[in-house]
């Protein structure tokens, strides 16, 4: 009964989003403001409706309603309550509802903004946001209903939205339980972050389409959505980093990124989103690249839809799987229709999207930003091609191939290096015009510093040529960024008579976007240090040890002490080893790699024992495919140099983006306040 | 006598068998049974292979029973003195090229990204050439930061605000 209620609310929400779309279009065409306002309110209504729907689903998940297919598939009696709640996004049907719920929240936030200056955008923003929402809610209503219930019929037990004739409700004793891999705290936060990133990119896209439809193709839509884009980027980046951390902690292969199609699907909108964030600056500062910015946000939107689809569907495994999946063709159809329509609109507005100014110099900041965009788009092509190549190969040759990490690493490595070089040069070039002389004068000091740092690394740490190039670029970017910071603070210190710390603080506060961006550059370089470390210097060994037997790797000595098997909480059996770690004969501590076996899901999870320092990570796995006995067990031991700089960098990234995205005073309010002051001053005169 | 002869014949046969057994015992390891390969030697090859079932999980870390058996095959083939390429080829013949961690025809797989990059570079270069000199009146600040284009009304208001302050 309650499941039917949830489905009913979901269906009503679907109708409300459709009404919103048609009311907005009709109201705008017939110039009936009341109808547009009605569409706005309808869009506002979607969030409480979907919240109610989600509340019903959570109620079913928490209260063991295993007669509901989705509940049966993702929960079990032994799971703690918080995991039953987060199981909401643990399966495809729930994920789609979660996506719609987040989308409705963002759409509602947009409708609540002041629309006085941008009234003409409103109906079209409603149309785009509600079409997107209607598509996802429609998927839930017609294909992936999270409220479908299990019925016993003469043909067996199957899930139906409505009770078939001559059937009885079937309630299993227990559920299958959530996939153990998804029970990790990282997995609790990672999907919401990723989806928040996905969903919030829909808002700038909606405004872009509204700008194209209304013909208001100046940079107003970019200014309105600048912070939406930054928050979207923040969420997406956090989602990717959390996913990496989850993989590192849970998947048991000593790495954080495996170039898996699902990972790449989430990475692709990040690539175009990052290119867009840089590219819009050119439009704002120089009135150029309007067509390109439109194209970038459209690509980002469609990659978001593509990514959402791939994350759960797994259709990329085979063209046959794609054809068998009912939602596969629909998703691809939606992506195609939105892409063609959006690009059609760009072509329609092509003339009004022409640049207001012209490129002056190949070394100007806008030219370097364009090169940066070329690199990002090239990385996107590599990723997209790598993801679809197996399908193309199977389609045209009948031969299935695997595109694994070597392809991506080889193809994207030089592009990432070029991006780092641009990150080092661009902050020192000027908008409009820059010459070799002016740029050379600005960059020579950081370059000399970077060469000295690289020489020290060469003499003391490594002679690997890739590492040397990588560390030189990292040093260059860090020194250029610090140099820029220091130049600004120094100038401010002199002109404003402030001490250096106040000057730094005020400098950042007065130009949050620029200096927040610099902090993000620094954070990316910390991440690059971590990536260089693990990619180029990781060492590993695997072997079977008897009790008190020792093995050595990467300067560490590891002694196997003991192993114990005991029941853990939430229905799992834990097999936990005890290993002592030494370095240079000095005892460093104990590590406890373990294998958790989940009875409900009949699946194991391999949790590493880790010892983390800024220098390296000692990462030990109890190998779960080899027999474990009281006398011996097999361990896989990795030493991952510098990997913790990756996580440290992601924390600094958060600081940077929060600074960059922190709201400024609303310029409209500033204007109103100024007007008031002018009036008061005039009255006083 | 016959019995003695018979026993002698038997003992000769036994000796011959013993010699053959000993010969096979000593020669076998040289030909096929090398020292048992270490896990690291097995993993070095396994990490380049994917089984058709476990998508996106390289063979060296895949916990399934099928993958464990594959690793045992690699170990046995290494012990037989097979090279890395021979072992990979064995799996390709058995299960197809999808077991390799990248497409065998590198030219095809790398062609599209390389062509896309070259095309993008060409378009960008043509774009740079098409764009001419800047408009002379454009001001470029020495800090490398142009003032953002703003609504004229807001700019005026900000000027007024500054005067009040």
As its CATH architecture, domain A179-358 has Up-down Bundle (1.20)
Split at pLDDT 50, 70, 90, the class of A554 is very high
Task: Calculate mean pLDDT across residues A445-464.
Answer: 95
For chain B, say whether A384 makes contact (Cβ under 8 Å).
no
Neighbours of A625 (CB within 10 A): 15
Q: Within its chain, how far is the Cα of A97 from the centroid?
A: 19
Task: Calculate mean pLDDT across residues B41-60.
Answer: 87
Neighbours of A548 (CB within 10 A): 10
Q: What's the CA gap between A197 and A187, in Å, rounded?
A: 16
Q: How much is the pLDDT for B137?
A: 42
Q: What are phi and psi of A550, to 5 degrees?
A: -120, 150
Q: How much is the pLDDT for A311?
A: 65
Chain A partners of B43 at a C-beta cutoff of 8 Å? 540, 542
Can you say whether the dihedral through the CA atoms of A480, A485, A486, A492 is positive or negative? positive
Task: Write the CA distances from A682 to A267, A677, B135, integer angstroms.
Answer: 56, 8, 39
Which H helix or E strand runs over A583? strand A572-583
Q: Within its chain, how far is the Cα of A55 from the centroid?
A: 26
User: Which of A253-262, A264-273, A443-452 bottoms out in mean pLDDT, i.e. has the lowest?
Assistant: A253-262
For chain B, say whether A220 makes contact (Cβ under 8 Å).
no
Does residue A269 contact residue A198 with C-beta atoms inside 8 Å? yes
CA-closest candidate to residue A280, choices A208, A347, A213, A214: A208
DSSP 8-state assignment for residue A584: T
Q: How much is the pLDDT for A677?
A: 64
Task: Calculate mean pLDDT across residues A443-469.
Answer: 95
CA-closest candidate to residue A544, choices B40, B62, B49, B70: B40
Q: What's the CA gap between A187 and A193, in Å, rounded?
A: 10
Does residue A275 contact residue A376 with C-beta atoms inside 8 Å? yes
Average pLDDT value over all residues in chain A: 89
Helix H, strand E, coil C: the string for A330-342 is HHHHHHHHHHHHH
pTM: 0.86
Chain B partners of A407 at a C-beta cutoff of 8 Å? 102-103, 109-110
Residue A530 in tokens: 């971590």
Split at pLDDT 50, 70, 90, the class of A438 is confident
**B50 vs A254, A287, A404: nearest CB:** A404
Q: How much is the pLDDT for A684?
A: 57
Which tens digit of pLDDT belongs to each residue from A556-574?
999 999 999 999 877 789 9
**B153 vs A357, A381, A671: nearest CB:** A671
Q: What's the CA gap between B50 and A400, in Å, rounded?
A: 12
Whether residue B134 has pLDDT greater than 90: no
Beta A156-160 vs A149-153: how paired, if at all?
A: antiparallel
Sketch the domain layout of chain A as residue ranges: 1-178, 179-358, 430-536+651-663, 539-645
Select the highest-mean-pLDDT range: A211-220, A410-419, A602-611, A616-625: A410-419
Task: Write the CA distances from B145 to A59, A100, A519, integer angstroms.
Answer: 54, 40, 18
Could you say which residues from 286 to 315 on chain A have a Cβ atom under 8 Å away from some Cβ of chain B? 286-287
Selected residue of B38, B49, B59, B61 to mutate for chain A interface (largest A Cβ count, 10 A): B61
Count of A–B CB contacts within 8 Å? 171
For chain B, say whether A378 makes contact (Cβ under 8 Å).
yes
The string of DSSP letters for A463-509 reads --HHHHHHHHHHHHHHHHHHHHHHHHHHHHHHHHT--HHHHHHHHHH
Beta A572-583 vs A586-591: how paired, if at all?
A: antiparallel
Q: How far is A440 from chain B (nearest CA, A)?
A: 14
CA-closest candidate to residue A635, choices A570, A555, A578, A564: A578
Angle at CA of residue A104, ends A103 and A110, nearest 5°: 90
Q: What are phi and psi of A256, to 5 degrees?
A: -125, -10
Relative orientation angle of helices B65-79 and B39-46, to the nearest 10 degrees: 110
Task: Calculate mean pLDDT across residues A243-271.
Answer: 88
Q: What are phi and psi of A635, to 5 degrees?
A: -125, 145
Select the highest-mean-pLDDT range: A468-472, A490-494, B25-29: A468-472
DSSP 8-state assignment for residue A251: I
ipTM: 0.80
Task: Calculate mean pLDDT across residues A396-401.
Answer: 86
Query: Locate tokens 């063209």: which residue?
Result: A319
Can you say whether the dihedral through the CA atoms of A163, A167, A173, A179 is positive or negative? negative
Which tens digit of pLDDT belongs to each residue from A82-111?
999 999 988 889 999 999 999 999 999 988
| Residue A16: burial class (beta carbons within 10 Å; 0-12, 13-18, 19+) | buried
Rg of chain A, C-alpha, whole Å: 28
Contact B160/A678, CB-based, under 8 Å? yes
Q: What's the CA gap between A388 and A383, in Å, rounded?
A: 9
Q: How much is the pLDDT for B23?
A: 47
């Amino acid at each position: 009964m309650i499941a039917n209620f949830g489905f009913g609310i979901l269906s009503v929400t679907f109708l409300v989003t459709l009404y919103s779309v048609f009311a907005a279009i009709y109201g705008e065409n017939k110039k009936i403001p009341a109808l547009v306002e009605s569409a706005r309110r309808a869009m506002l209504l979607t969030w409480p409706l979907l919240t109610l729907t989600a509340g019903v689903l959570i109620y079913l998940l928490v209260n063991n309603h295993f007669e509901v297919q989705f509940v049966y598939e993702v929960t079990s009696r032994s799971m703690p309550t918080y995991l039953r709640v987060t199981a909401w996004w643990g399966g495809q049907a729930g994920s789609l509802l979660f996506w719609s719920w987040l989308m409705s929240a963002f759409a509602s936030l947009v409708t609540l903004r002041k629309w006085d200056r941008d009234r003409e955008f409103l109906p079209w923003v409603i149309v785009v946001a509600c079409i997107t929402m209607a598509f996802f809610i429609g998927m839930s209503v017609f294909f992936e209903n999270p409220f479908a219930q299990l019925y016993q019929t003469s043909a067996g037990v199957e899930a139906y939205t409505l009770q078939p004739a001559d059937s009885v409700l079937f309630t299993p004793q227990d559920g299958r339980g959530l996939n153990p891999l998804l029970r990790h705290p990282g997995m609790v936060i990672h999907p919401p972050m990723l989806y928040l990133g996905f969903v919030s990119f829909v808002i700038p896209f909606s405004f872009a389409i509204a700008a194209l439809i209304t013909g208001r193709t100046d940079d107003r839509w970019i200014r309105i959505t600048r912070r939406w884009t930054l928050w979207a980027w923040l969420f997406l980046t956090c989602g990717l980093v959390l996913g990496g951390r989850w993989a590192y902690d849970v998947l048991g292969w000593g790495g954080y990124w495996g170039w898996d199609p699902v990972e790449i699907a989430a990475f692709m909108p990040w690539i175009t989103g990052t290119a867009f964030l840089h590219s819009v600056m050119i439009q704002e500062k120089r009135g150029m690249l309007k067509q390109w910015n439109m194209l970038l946000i459209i690509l980002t939107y469609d990659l978001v839809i593509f990514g959402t689809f791939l994350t759960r569907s797994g259709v990329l495994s085979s063209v046959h799987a794609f054809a068998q999946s009912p939602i596969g063709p629909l998703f691809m159809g939606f992506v195609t229709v939105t892409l063609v329509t959006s690009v059609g609109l760009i072509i329609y507005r092509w003339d009004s999207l022409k640049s207001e100014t012209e490129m002056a110099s190949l070394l100007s900041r806008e030219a370097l930003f364009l090169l940066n965009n070329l690199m990002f788009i090239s990385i996107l092509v590599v990723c997209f091609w790598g993801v679809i190549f197996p399908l193309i190969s199977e389609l045209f040759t009948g031969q299935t191939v695997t595109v694994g990490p070597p392809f991506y690493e080889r193809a994207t490595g030089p592009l990432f290096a070029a991006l780092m070089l641009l990150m080092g040069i661009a902050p020192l070039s000027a908008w409009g015009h820059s010459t070799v002389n002016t740029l050379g004068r600005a960059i020579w000091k950081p370059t000399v510093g970077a060469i000295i740092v690289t020489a020290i690394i060469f003499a003391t740490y490594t002679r690997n040529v890739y590492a040397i190039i990588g560390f030189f670029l990292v040093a260059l970017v860090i020194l250029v960024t610090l140099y820029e910071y220091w130049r600004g603070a120094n100038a401010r210190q002199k002109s404003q008579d402030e001490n250096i710390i106040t000057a730094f603080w005020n400098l950042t506060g007065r130009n949050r976007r620029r200096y927040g961006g610099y902090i993000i550059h620094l954070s990316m370089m910390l991440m690059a240090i971590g990536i260089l470390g693990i990619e180029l210097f990781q060492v590993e060994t695997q072997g079977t040890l008897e009790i008190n037997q020792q093995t050595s790797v990467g300067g560490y000595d590891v002694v196997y002490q003991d192993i114990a098997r005991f029941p853990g909480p939430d229905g799992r059996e834990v097999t936990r080893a005890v290993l002592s770690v030494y370095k240079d004969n000095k005892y460093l501590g104990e590590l406890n790699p373990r294998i958790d076996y989940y009875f409900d899901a009949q699946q194991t999870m391999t949790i590493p024992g880790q010892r983390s320092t800024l220098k390296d990570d000692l990462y030990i796995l109890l190998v779960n495919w080899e027999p474990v006995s009281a006398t011996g067990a097999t361990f896989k031991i990795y030493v991952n140099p510098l990997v913790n700089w990756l996580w440290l960098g992601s924390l600094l990234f958060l600081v940077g983006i929060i600074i960059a995205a922190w709201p400024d005073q609303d310029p409209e309010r500033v204007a109103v306040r100024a007007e008031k002051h002018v009036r008061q001053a005039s009255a006083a005169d | 006598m016959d019995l003695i002869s018979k026993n002698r014949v038997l003992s000769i046969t036994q000796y011959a068998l013993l010699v053959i057994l000993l010969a096979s015992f000593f020669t076998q390891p040289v030909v096929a049974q090398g020292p048992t390969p270490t896990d690291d030697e097995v993993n070095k090859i396994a990490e380049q292979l994917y089984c058709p079932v476990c998508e996106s999980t390289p063979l060296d870390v895949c916990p399934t029973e099928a993958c464990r058996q594959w690793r045992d095959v690699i170990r046995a083939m290494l012990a037989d003195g097979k090279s890395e390429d021979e072992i990979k080829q064995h799996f390709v013949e058995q299960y197809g090229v999808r077991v390799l961690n990248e497409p065998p025809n590198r030219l095809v797989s790398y062609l599209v990204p390389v062509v896309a990059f070259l095309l993008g570079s060409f378009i960008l270069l043509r774009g740079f050439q098409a764009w001419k000199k800047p408009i002379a009146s454009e001001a470029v600040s020495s800090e490398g930061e142009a003032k953002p284009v703003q609504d004229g009304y807001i700019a005026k208001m900000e000027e007024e605000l500054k005067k009040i302050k």
